[in-house]
Amino acid sequence: MQNKANKIRNFRLTLVDDETHKPILVTRFTRTTFLISAVMAAAVLCLVFYMLVAFTPVRTLIPGYPDARAKRAAIQNAIKIDSLEMLVSRWELYSENFRRILDGEEPLKIDSLVLKIAGGEREELSEQEIRERDSILRMNVAEEEQFNLSLAEGRNLHIEGMHFFCPLKGVISQGYDPVIHPFIDITAPANSMVFAVLDGSVIYSGWSDDSGYTIQIQHANDIISIYKHNQKLLKAVGDKVTAGDPIAVVGNTGTLTTGDHLHFELWYKGEAVDPARYINF
């Protein structure tokens, strides 16, 4: 009796032709193999569903999931909000200056307005103190350069001590990651100008399927800047550029892009660095 109770029961699933009654497909299984097959089928189904949601546009059908249009609209709204904040600050300063004039007080100077917008404070100095500090600064500079005139022109500065021009005013849509994303993406309105960050020479200006219209500039102190996905290039290989020169028009060219933006890379001594550490975007 015990052997009969422990005996494994086999099942058979048969697919039969209704007219000829001939078996077309016969499958034999036990309860264990059925459960294993069901679990594996459920796992494969979940994997396929995950792949569809993660790597195809099907995910945009999920309620509440932002699509590319919603992300682009959010970036455009962020740019507009920044402009509106600056406009409101200017009107506040204008009204404050207007109130001072009506009350007979001394109106604010332009320098004071600029500093107030920037949120900074400046030490008020008399004209005599300014002249004395200027004289001291000139004496210090003259003493430093007295015996280093030939070395002053060829000195090398570390990247931390250099002043970079902003290549494009916009919103950083994706920041720097040393492993996954060793560059930054800057989103800005179409037809915005792209500028050179430093003085240098154009070492590459051309097209690639992935990056679209790309331009690379060699700068002093082993610095290279790279600008990708442009709509149009304004400089050719061998051209000399200075910081702030327009070199391209922001665009959406190449296969590795989903909207108008600038793919910007900054290399120092053969290694990619985070541009946001040295440039105020």
Residues 96, 20 share a domain: no
Q: What is the average pLDDT value for the chain, to the nearest integer?
A: 81
Q: 43 with 90, same domain?
A: no
The total of structural domains in the chain comes to: 3
Average pLDDT over residues 112-130: 54
Among 235, 218, 230, residue whose Cα is nearest residue 264: 230
Note the pLDDT of residue 149. 44
| Higher-pLDDT residue of 156, 161 | 161
Query: pLDDT tier at 83 (50, 70, 90 boundaries)?
Result: confident
Is the pLDDT score of 225 beyond 70?
A: yes
At which residue do the structure tokens 């790279």 appear?
226
Say whether both 207 and 264 belong to one domain: yes
Could you give the percent of the chain with pLDDT greater than 70?
78
Read off the tokens for 175: 């920041």
Kindly state whether residue 210 falls inside one of the protein's structural domains.
Answer: yes
Candidates 190, 262, 177, 252; CA nearest to 226 is 262
**86 assigned to some structural domain:** yes
SS3 of the chain? CHHHHHCCCEEEEEEECCCCCCEEEEEEEEHHHHHHHHHHHHHHHHHHHHHHHHHCHHHHHCCCCCCHHHHHHHHHHHHHHHHHHHHHHHHHHHHHHHHHHHCCCCCCCHHHHHHHHHCCCCCCCCHHHHHHHHHHHHHHHHHHHCCCHHHHCCCCCCHHHCCCCCCCCCEEEECCECCCECCEEEECCCCCEEECCCCEEEEEEEEECCCEEEEEEEECCCEEEEEEEEEEECCCCCCEECCCCEEEEEECCCCCCCCCEEEEEEEECCEEECHHHCCCC
Is 130 part of a structural domain of the chain?
A: no
Q: Are residues 96 and 43 in the same domain?
A: no
In this predicted structure, what is the pLDDT of residue 153? Answer: 46
| Structure tokens belonging to residue 97 | 């200056």
Q: Are residues 199 and 259 in the same domain?
A: yes
Residue 1 lies in a domain: no
Cα 119–chain centre separation: 26
Statement to judge: residues 171 and 203 lie in one domain? yes
* Mean pLDDT value across residues 176-193: 90
Q: And the tokens for 113?
A: 């307005």
**Whole-number CA gyration radius for the chain:** 33
- 231 against 95, higher pLDDT: 231
Output the CA–CA distances (angstroms, integers) from residue 262 to 157, 166, 174, 215, 280, in the order listed: 27, 12, 11, 11, 15
* Same-domain check for residues 27 and 86: no
Residues 50, 84, single domain; the answer is: no
pLDDT at 4 > cutoff 70: no
Q: Say if residue 200 is in the same domain as residue 105.
A: no
pLDDT band at 39 (very low <50, low <70, confident <90, very high): very high
The domain boundary residue, chosen from 17, 37, 57: 57
235-240: average pLDDT: 94
Model pTM score: 0.47
* 251 and 211 part of one domain: yes
Are 101 and 176 within one domain?
Answer: no
Confidence of residue 239 (pLDDT cuts 50, 70, 90): very high
Tell me, what's the pLDDT at 197?
96
- Cα 33 from Cα 12, distance rounded (Å): 12
Per-residue confidence (pLDDT) for residue 236, from 0 to 100: 94
Angle, helices 68-102/110-118, rounded to nearest 10 degrees:
140
In a domain, 140, yes or no: no
Nearest to 226 by CA among 259, 203, 249, 254: 203
The pLDDT of residue 146 is: 54
pLDDT of 127 higher than 90: no
pLDDT for 76 equals 79
Q: Extract the tokens encoding 218.
A: 């060699």
91 and 39 together in one domain: no
Domain around 240: 164-277
Nearest to 224 by CA among 190, 180, 188, 265: 265
